[in-house]
Structure 1
């Protein structure tokens, strides 16, 4: 049986040359698309006061999302310094829209240091940054999505945390 996709050696058929170029271009486009990073929909940090984060204070992040019917990865990012006294940081996170609660409030325990006391994440000098995946958020319609982050430590004032951030990625 003769192979329909194989040309005899030495053939210069222009149809097969175009087909080969098209297939090579499609393969390159697929590889390039797979290597591209996730598209960031929203990314913002809130700086905390130098005297510390009062545990009753709730940070609010107002994310303008122009698309609808997409799922986004929600990450919470923490920037801390060496004088943070604990290994972990318990947080309460909620997502609200103008008309309803989008994501039920959830508690997240972010580990900033390992068992030996070494800081996790990336760092430079006395400052470290860590990103923690929280979950997926289903964006049903374009609009403003408000993320609220509250510290759940029993201390009145938490020191050593410089910034808290929210990142939404497609």
Structure 2
């Protein structure tokens, strides 16, 4: 009976992760993000009829000095053209309480960039993130990640 429960749990865990197209972090040596460091994430899209959600993932310490973070997000399309947006990532609420989950000296946060969208072209896409704050390096940032999840066929 225990084996049957274990198999069910493993099936649920694997099926939950099967729709993750990419989920990757870039770690910084010191908890700080230099402005010159561009973080790259590449992924391949084959299904243009599916709906996707894109997220930025952050890990920071409680000593991070701001309640938000601006980043330049560049998407490079399979045909080679690119589009850059300035994105304001909220890390704390209006009362200064950190968003996300805290464990020890780290806060983990997943911030939706775009929900329920389709890719118009199949091929390899590239996401580039650059911190756009007035301070260099940006202190107390441990990891920056990107996640793309297929949410429907």
Q: Return the match for 1:120 from 85, 95, 99.
A: 99
Q: In the alignment, is residue 159 of structure 1 matched against residue 135 of structure 2?
A: no
Q: Return the match for 2:42 from 62, 65, 74.
A: 62
Equivalent pairs, count: 134
- Equivalent position of 2:88 in the other structure: 109
Q: In the alignment, is residue 73 of structure 1 matched against residue 48 of structure 2?
A: no
Deviation at 1:65, TM superposition (A): 3.0
- Equivalent position of 2:74 in the other structure: 94
Report the Cα distance in structure 1 between the residues aligned to 2:128 and 2:148, rounded to whole angstroms: 14
Which protein is bigger by CA-based radius of gyration?
1
Report the Cα distance in structure 2 between the residues aligned to 1:127 and 1:92, rounded to whole angstroms: 24
Using the size of structure 1 for normalisation, the TM-score is 0.69
- Equivalent position of 1:85 in the other structure: 65
Deviation at 1:64, TM superposition (A): 2.9
Deviation at 1:57, TM superposition (A): 1.8
Q: Give every structure 1 segment of 4 or more consecutive aligned residues whose post-TM-superposition deviation is greater than 6 Å.
A: none
- Asked whether the equivalents of residues 70 and 140 of structure 1 are also in contact (C-alpha less than 8 Å), the reply is no
- Equivalent position of 1:32 in the other structure: none
Structure number with higher relative contact order (C-alpha < 8 Å, ≥ 6 residues apart): 2
- Asked whether the equivalents of residues 55 and 154 of structure 1 are also in contact (C-alpha less than 8 Å), the reply is no
Q: CA RMSD in A?
A: 2.2
Q: In the alignment, is residue 143 of structure 1 matched against residue 115 of structure 2?
A: no
Deviation at 1:37, TM superposition (A): 5.3
- Asked whether the equivalents of residues 78 and 121 of structure 2 are also in contact (C-alpha less than 8 Å), the reply is no
